[in-house]
Amino acid sequence: MGRSILTAQKPSTFTPNALELMTLEELWSLHEEIGSILTARIRAEKLELEKRLAVLHRGVAPPGEQTDDESRPVAKRRRKYPRVLPKYRNPQRPSETWSGRGKLPRWLVVATENGQRIEEFRIVDAIPLERQRA
């Protein structure tokens, strides 16, 4: 069986009845040929999708391939924010503080649910100078 089974029959003349008339060897050859065609097409499609992703990322490596901030282009580096001083302190555990940014810490959520106000936990030194003068 030197010639391809797929090219031997045109798609318009290829019917399910033709499959029933094939021998086991012919069916297995057809199976292998279809598998190799599918593999080649899937590889080509994957390559095309990877190219499109690279264009969308504009040259930035995917997150799994990045090792540090220096590996990213300058425009994509994350801005370094200045350290924010804490504004609120847990009286039971003075080491637990909160800057007032982001999600409320658990200790503050529990305290506010028990009827306390957030201002009761404010660190006096954390009030900005312009507010202290006013």
Residue found under tokens 């030194």: 125
Angle at 60 between CA 58 and CA 61, to 5 degrees: 135
Are residue 61 and residue 95 in the same domain, yes or no? no
pLDDT value, residue 117: 92
**Domain annotation covers residue 96:** yes
Q: To which residue do tokens 């009286």 refer?
A: 91
**In this structure, is residue 79 part of a structural domain?**
no
- Statement to judge: residues 58 and 109 lie in one domain: no
Q: pLDDT, tens digit, for every residue of 4-35?
A: 555 555 555 667 788 888 899 999 999 999 99
Taking residues 64-86, report their average pLDDT: 67
Domain identity same for 59 and 9 = yes
* 60 shares a domain with 29: yes
Are 20 and 61 in a shared domain? Answer: yes
Spell out the residues 6+ positions from residue 1 whose beta carbon is closer than 8 angstroms to its own.
Answer: 25, 26, 29
> Higher confidence at residue 33 or residue 68?
33
Q: How many domains does the chain have?
A: 2
pLDDT (tens digit, 9 = 90+) per residue, 101-126?
A: 889 999 999 999 999 999 999 988 75
Stretch 68-80: mean pLDDT, rounded?
63
With respect to residue 26, please indicate whether it lies within any of the assigned structural domains: yes
- Write down the pLDDT at residue 59: 62
108: alpha, beta or left? (left if phi > 0; alpha if psi -120 to 50): alpha
In terms of pTM, does the model score above 0.75?
no
Residue 34 · residue 42 · CB < 8 Å: no
Do 95 and 127 have their domain in common? Answer: yes
Q: Please report whether residue 20 resides in a domain.
A: yes
In a domain? residue 10: yes
**Is 98 within 8 Å of 104 (Cβ atoms)?**
yes
- Give the range of the structural domain holding residue 123, as residue numbers without chain letter: 88-133
Q: Is residue 107 part of a domain?
A: yes
Q: How many angstroms separate the Cα of 76 from the Cα of each of 52, 62, 82?
A: 19, 12, 19
